[in-house]
């Protein structure tokens, strides 16, 4: 696998990397991490995003030359890396780039990634795409600079819930330790990622939690965020991502679900689990996907209807 990727890199003059829509730390981190390492090879490298970068990752945007992808920009690419993208549709309007680039390499850690690339390196056991990318960088002996190391550390920290989730392995901690030895400023990463909340987000949290409901004998928590409330706090749908972790952490809760109303009236569903009950299958039955303990889906129904459908699906799960 690594040999084939190496061959493709050697053969290519123009290379790009792209993240998924609503980018998270792992998605931006893996694009920037591998991108920075490849930039050192002297080839022409472009780091694409296809969505706005959330404020908490602004520090990554300062250190890395991200470019918002527009249709046609992938036309003369020899090689495209799609990173942390569990399915092609997660590329949203940028999905067309898969046909623009000559060769596509898909590197990911999501369950049931359909291997949409010409070359596919999918490891569902690993903590994060960033950990996988670090493995690749080390195997190819590519140089990793400060910005690249910072980006990879950010992805590992965010995808492991700061090394709390069970996807954290001894290898993950060794990878993180290697990055710290390279001089990564972990304090700044924590401050930017977790400790730079907008006061409106915190106030919104207070209001939303008032309507938190527990179902299935307290084992499932539901919280909803309407467009109306988001607008009244002048926030967008990416606001308060941590709400779902907060409600997962209630004693007795096994699965937490957050329903966010989208501007088009549909619903973005987030799932988290802290028990053996997996949420990836649940997300898949609503057209989404993800990991055993963290998954998501987007549906056309409004949050009220979505909740009713989810309750039906959960009744089967808890039978």
Tell me which residues touch Mn ion (CB under 5 A). 26, 84, 128-129, 159
- For strand 103-108 and strand 119-122, is the pairing parallel, antiparallel, or unpaired? parallel
- Position of minimal CB gap to Mn ion: 26
CB of 159 or CB of 261, closer to Mn ion? 159
Q: How many CB atoms lie within 10 A of CB 129?
A: 30
Strand locations in the chain, DSSP E? 14-18, 44-49, 66-68, 79-83, 103-108, 119-122, 213-215, 220-225, 255-261, 267-273, 289-290, 294-299
Write down the least CB distance from residue 25 to Mn ion, Å: 8
Q: Which is nearer to Mn ion, 26 or 51 (CB)?
A: 26
Question: Nearer Cβ to Mn ion, position 27 or 298?
Answer: 27
* Cα–Cα separations (whole angstroms), residue 159 to 49, 154, 319: 19, 9, 31
Comparing CB distances to Mn ion, the nearer of 167 and 306 is 167
SS3 12: coil
- Contact predicate 247/253, CB 8 Å: yes
CB of 159 to Mn ion, least distance (A): 5
User: What one-character DSSP code corresponds to residue 233?
Assistant: T
- C-alpha–C-alpha distance, residues 154 and 163, integer Å: 11
Residue 107 Cβ, how far from Mn ion at the closest point, in Å? 11
What is the smallest separation between the CB atom of 1 and Mn ion, expressed in angstroms? 19
11, two tokens = 């053969």
User: CA-to-CA distance for 106 and 104, rounded, in angstroms?
Assistant: 6
Q: Least distance (Å) from Mn ion to the CB of residue 249?
A: 21
Residue number, 20 or 268, with CB nearest to Mn ion: 20
* CB-based contacts of 318, cutoff 8 Å, min separation 6: 216, 219, 220
CB of 282 to Mn ion, least distance (A): 18
Would strands 220-225 and 213-215 be described as parallel, antiparallel, or unpaired? antiparallel
C-alpha closest to that of 275 among 222, 224, 212, 220: 220
Instruction: Using the minimum distance from each CB to Mn ion, give the nearer residue, 84 or 254.
Output: 84
- Shortest Cβ distance from residue 125 to Mn ion (Å)? 13
Nearer to Mn ion, 47 or 220 (CB): 47
Query: Minimum distance from CB of 167 to Mn ion (Å)?
Result: 9
Of the two residues 161 and 266, which places its CB atom closer to Mn ion in the complex? 161
d(CA 184, CA 149): 6
């Amino acid at each position: 696998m690594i040999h084939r990727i190496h061959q493709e890199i050697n053969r290519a003059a123009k290379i790009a990397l792209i993240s998924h829509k609503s980018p998270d730390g792992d998605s931006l981190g893996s694009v920037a991490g591998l991108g920075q390492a490849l930039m050192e090879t002297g080839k022409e490298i472009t780091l694409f995003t296809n969505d706005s970068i959330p404020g908490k990752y602004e520090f990554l945007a300062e250190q890395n030359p991200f470019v918002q992808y527009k249709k046609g920009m992938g036309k003369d690419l020899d090689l495209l890396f799609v990173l942390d993208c569990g399915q092609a549709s997660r590329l949203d309007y940028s999905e067309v780039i898969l046909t623009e680039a000559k060769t596509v390499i898909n590197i990911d850690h999501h369950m049931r990634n359909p291997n949409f690339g010409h070359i596919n390196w999918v490891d569902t056991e690993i903590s994060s795409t960033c950990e996988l990318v670090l493995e690749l960088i080390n195997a190819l002996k590519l140089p990793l600079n400060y910005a690249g190391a910072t980006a990879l550390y950010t992805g590992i920290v965010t995808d492991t819930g700061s090394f709390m989730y069970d996807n954290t392995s001894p290898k993950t901690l060794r990878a993180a330790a290697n990055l710290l030895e390279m001089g990564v400023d972990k304090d700044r990463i924590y401050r930017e990622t977790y400790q730079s909340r907008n006061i409106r987000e915190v106030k919104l949290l207070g209001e939303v939690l008032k309507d938190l409901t527990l179902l299935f004998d307290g084992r499932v928590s539901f919280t909803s965020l309407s467009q109306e409330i988001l607008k009244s706090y002048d926030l967008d749908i990416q606001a308060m991502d941590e709400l779902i972790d907060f409600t997962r952490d209630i004693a007795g809760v096994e699965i937490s679900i957050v329903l966010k109303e989208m501007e088009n009236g549909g619903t973005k569903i987030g799932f988290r689990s802290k028990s053996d009950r997996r949420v990836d299958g649940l997300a898949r039955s609503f057209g989404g996907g993800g990991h055993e303990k963290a998954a998501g889906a987007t549906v056309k129904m409004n949050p009220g209807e979505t909740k009713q459908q989810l309750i039906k699906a959960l009744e089967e799960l808890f039978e």
